[in-house]
Amino acid sequence: MLYCEDVELMLQDYLNGYLLHSQRELVEGHVHGCGRCRDLVTGLTRMESRLDGLGEVEVPAGLSRSILAALPPHAYGPPPWRRALTWGAVPALALLLVVVGFLARGRLQIQGRFAAREVEIVLSAPQALSVAVVGDFNNWDPQRTRLVRSNHEGLWRARLQLPPGVYQYSFVLDGSSWVSDPLAKTMLSDGFGGKNSVIIVDG
């Protein structure tokens, strides 16, 4: 099956009679069912027959010379856009370097200001088999940040890299039990009937 774009590509060969029989059938099949392509073929056929109807014209001797003589001298040189590009290359390059420098400097400053701080989170849960911390910093996904049991008394720890800001978080024990951080200085209602712990990371 052909699309209009395919037919347009094959149209000139079709009109010149260069297509194979099978190709020709495919094009004709499409043109038969497509009003747009049919109009295109009809128009081109009509134009071709009118062009054929025009008589042959003899090229006058010295035509190229007389055309060139009528042109202004700068027309022989490179086009204006190319000259502008050549002369503009050095300032453009300098401008580009300046812009890149400013962007890099700005990015470094922003990175410095929002640089992540390491925060350690600890929970005592001797009975737990697994502990995860979930919060604004990890899409509240219990699979993302698991705590590691650090001793036999059941102390679980995790180190987080957090940019300055205020974060709400909670612990998930054994994949299902949600527990607030008893060491958190601030606790907030989560709006869903439970409580979240709050951690403030200084900038």
Smallest distance, Å, CB 179 to another protein? 12
The stretch among 19-27, 61-69, 78-86, 147-155 that binds another protein (CB under 8 A) is: 78-86
Regarding 140 and contact with another protein (CB under 8 A), the answer is yes
Regarding 168 and contact with another protein (CB under 8 A), the answer is yes
Regarding 125 and contact with another protein (CB under 8 A), the answer is no
Regarding 1 and contact with another protein (CB under 8 A), the answer is no
Regarding 96 and contact with another protein (CB under 8 A), the answer is yes
Within 47-66, which residues bind another protein (CB under 8 A)?
Answer: none
Contact status, residue 156 vs residue 147, Cβ threshold 8 Å: yes
Smallest distance, Å, CB 191 to another protein? 4
Contact status, residue 174 vs residue 129, Cβ threshold 8 Å: yes
Regarding 174 and contact with another protein (CB under 8 A), the answer is no
H helices of the chain, where? 4-16, 21-33, 35-53, 63-70, 80-113
Contact status, residue 144 vs residue 134, Cβ threshold 8 Å: yes
Contact status, residue 128 vs residue 171, Cβ threshold 8 Å: no
Q: What contacts 199, CB < 8 A, 6 or more positions away? A: 119, 121, 135, 162, 166, 167, 169, 184
Binding interface with another protein (CB under 8 A): 82, 85-90, 92-93, 96, 113-114, 134, 136, 139-142, 164-166, 168, 178, 186, 188, 190-192, 194, 196, 198, 200, 202-203
